[in-house]
Structure formats: structure tokens, C-alpha cells
Amino acid sequence: MRLSEIDEPKPSGDEILIAVHAASVSFMDQLVVSGLYQMRPPTPFVPGTEASGVVVAVGDKVTGFAPGDRVACSAWTGGYAERMIAKESKTVRLPDGVAFEAAATVLHNYGTAYYALVERARAQRDETLFVTGAAGGVGLAAVDLGRHLGLRVVAGIGSDD
């Protein structure tokens, strides 16, 4: 990896240009940068799969966002730059009072936990959820979502002991 200057990206169609205020540093980012994730962006690329910031410009097909909106987004690349492009469909508006730092860590963690609990496990109210890795982003999101889904949550931090 190296630090360098690149041209500012320009949004087209359904894309949004975002001035990045905060970006997550996740296990997924580490895998992508290491070339170990199942999908590999062509090199060179700017890492960063999740970020938050302020909309600077929008493509001509974007209808839900305008310059000045506070947003969080996910993309395969770009979050570690000052400005990044995200698809409108992968962007959400931030409510007032939600910090950029918190918003930059929510989409993948909660999306992964939601997929695991609701789509795959089909968790039902009053079932028990045992989260062995409740110290990381997805684990903490699973504990929180489990509580909101009406599950009995047992959480811990695993060890070899």
C-alpha cells in the first residue's frame, strides 16, 4: 500500500460523490487489501468498503439524495479517500445526531448479522442466541439485533480456555 494523490471521481447515472468524514477499518477491508477476499478489485485501487460523509454531487439518475445530505454508504472500494463514489442503492441518509464515526461502521456489521439471524437462521422470538464473538463489530451487532428480535441473548468472548 502507498499514499498518493488520485483524480477526484465523478458520479455518473445512479452514483453519488461523497466527501468522506469517516471510514471503517474492518476484517473485510483487510481481506480485500491482502487479496484474500473472494472478490478482488483490479489494482491499483483505493481500499475502504464502508464510509460516511456529506454528498458533494449526484449522477443524473439519482433521485433520493442531494448535495449537503449526510450519508453512510458501502462500496467495494474508495472509502479511504477524501472523496468516494457510491451507488444510490448502497447509500442511506443519516439521522440528525448520528455521528459519522458510528455511521461508518453500521452497514456491513448489521447487514451481516441481519443476514445470519433473519435470512439464514430464521431466528424466532423467544429462541436463544449464543454469540461467542461478542467483542467485534458483527458480534456486537448480533447481540443488539438479537435483543430487538426478541431472542434470549447469551454473549461471550471466546478463548482457548
Q: What is the pLDDT along the chain (161 residues), one digit of tens a residue?
A: 888 999 999 999 999 999 999 999 988 899 999 999 998 999 899 999 999 999 999 999 999 999 999 999 999 999 999 999 999 999 999 999 999 999 999 888 999 999 999 999 999 999 999 998 888 889 999 999 999 999 999 988 766 65
Set of cell numbers at residue 77: 472500494
Instruction: Output the pLDDT for position 18.
Output: 98
Set of cell numbers at residue 67: 448535495
Buried b (16+ CB within 10 A) or exposed e, 78-100: bbbbebbbbbbebbbebeeeeeb
The structure's pTM equals 0.84
One of 3.90.180.10, 3.20.20.480, 3.30.70.270, 3.40.50.300 is the CATH number of 15-104, namely 3.90.180.10
Tell me the β-bridge partners of 21.
none
Cα–Cα distance for residue pair 49/74, rounded to 1 Å: 6
Q: Which of 92, 96, 94, 93 is nearest to 111 (CA)?
A: 92
